[in-house]
Amino acid sequence: MRKIGQYRLIILVAIFFVIFDNVSFFKNTIKVYSFDSENIAFLFSLAVLLVSFIVFLFSLLSSKYTTKAILIFTLIVSSFTNYFMNTYHVVIDSSMLQNALQTDMKESLDLFSLKMVAYIFFFGLLPSFFIYRVKIEYGNFKREFISKVKIVLISLGVIVVILFSFSKFYTSFFREHKSLRYYTNPTYWMYSIGKYVGNTFAGTDGKLQAIGLDAVVVKEKESKRKIIILVVGEAARADRFSLNGYSKETNPLLKNENIVNYTNISSCGTSTAVSVPCMFSLSCKDDFNYKKGVLVENVVDVLEHTKEIKVLWRDNNSDSKGVALRVNFENFRTSKNNPICDDECRDEGMLIGLDSFIEKYANKDILIILHQMGNHGPAYYKRYPKKFEKFTPVCETNQLENCSVEEISNAYDNAILYTDYFLSKTINFLKSYSSNNETKMIYISDHGESLGENGLYLHGLPYFMAPTCQTHVAALLWDGGKRKGNIDTEYSHDNLFHTLLGLFNVKTVVYDKTKDIL
């Protein structure tokens, strides 16, 4: 095989990246800068700029021992990111990486498709095989150093010339349309990895910070024991609940219960990995980060500090995202624990056996957290037993782009219908304890979901650019049937920490009454 210089190879790979792995970037750019005579030169300059930047980046990292490995790794990873950006129109930022790293094998299999295999083969493995087989020509140290300096300076020179030549366009591109850079491949996912590592590991000694150690339960005279169930939903957007005015009857059972429906609650994030630890955290959305979620205790820890409240977390999702590390935790994604499993283990199985936990701690107040599988996408048709397939036809594939909007919506709405059944069943479970105990159920989803609106699917977009359907979540309260109605006041996940403390009459310095919804 003919030899090739490493910098010529880098240039060829950079061109490959721009042509084949940046379709999503150029599609989104053309939506902003239409493909007409005035913009065509600018759009071409963007391609040259991106090639030059990739060449500059890889040239800095290149050496006799690293070039092949870096190019092969980047091509394979970029084939994955290319697939997800083109198929679901997501962006690969640090929170999406966190979500991906915390996804288990069962969730990953829901995303598998022949289309994904084709992307990985043609855009990842095939060019990687070429790079593996090609013989790279290396000179001596002096020659390689001079070549590196030349290619780096030429790349920088091209970048500078382009920026000055099209300064009018690039001023708006960088200032007014910053989100477009989120779609560049491989540069943005590489940046996101660095950001994720920095946010996760930098500046920490790994010690857990305790909060609410002063927490005590203030007992009222003749007060009953409290049994509260908190259901953490998955990907349930508020506008798909008929309780909120949706045209399809997705809440036929809940509408007959005396519940308080919160119509205006926003999520802390657009992914489970962010929203779940954030909603239990003392930190508010704007102040929350991964390290605070891991290294600072949360509200379930504060409740346990009272010594008078026992917490149980049952999970039919991926896991608790670190929230339940120090309380009772049970995995219900396995038939070993969950007795109601068919194609997958069902949320309602989490209710079975709760009586024994309640009886075991008969002299304690109880908080039970049930983390749903809910509406986890993209395989919505798997999220409910067949008898709940009321709305048809449904999308029966994880390749949502191959389904109509109606089919996707029907599958999603059937999963909401099953959640309605599960929540109704949870309420009926609590009713059996209501005569001698104070019982309540809270339901709140972790984030919403895009179902093809504006070409977007699933969730996980950066919060500032996420559509409302990814951040406006369903939430409700059953307080023993005492109240019924809609609450339209604007609330968010930030209120959950203080509301839970208030529900159990916990007195502590970290409790803020103004943030307690009740």
Q: Roughly what angle, to the nearest 10 degrees, separates helices 40-61 and 141-165?
A: 160
Quickly list DSSP for 67-125: HHHHHHHHHHHHHHHHHHHHHH-----HHHHHHHHT--HHHHHHT--HHHHHHHIIIII
Measured in degrees and rounded to the nearest 5, phi and psi for residue 211 equal -135, 160
Amino acid at 217: V
Measured in degrees and rounded to the nearest 5, phi and psi for residue 296 equal -125, 135
Whether 142 and 106 have beta carbons less than 8 Å apart is answered as: no
- How high is the pLDDT of residue 205? 62
- How high is the pLDDT of residue 253? 98
- Beta-carbon count within 10 A of 342 CB: 10
- Residues in the chain with pLDDT < 50? none
CB neighbours of 402 closer than 8 A, spacing ≥ 6? Answer: none
CB neighbours of 325 closer than 8 A, spacing ≥ 6? Answer: none
Residue 260 parent element (H or E): strand 260-266
Amino acid at 302: V
Strands 216-217 and 506-507, by their bridges, are antiparallel
CB neighbours of 449 closer than 8 A, spacing ≥ 6? Answer: 235, 236, 237, 375, 377, 412, 458, 459, 469, 470
Per-residue HEC secondary structure of 4-16 comes to EEHHHHHHHHHHH
Whether 6 and 138 have beta carbons less than 8 Å apart is answered as: yes
Measured in degrees and rounded to the nearest 5, phi and psi for residue 259 equal -125, 155
- How high is the pLDDT of residue 106? 74
pTM as predicted: 0.86
Whether 286 and 344 have beta carbons less than 8 Å apart is answered as: no
- How high is the pLDDT of residue 177? 86
**Maximum separation of any 2 CA atoms in the chain, in Å:** 88
Name 485's bridge partners.
260
CB neighbours of 149 closer than 8 A, spacing ≥ 6? Answer: none
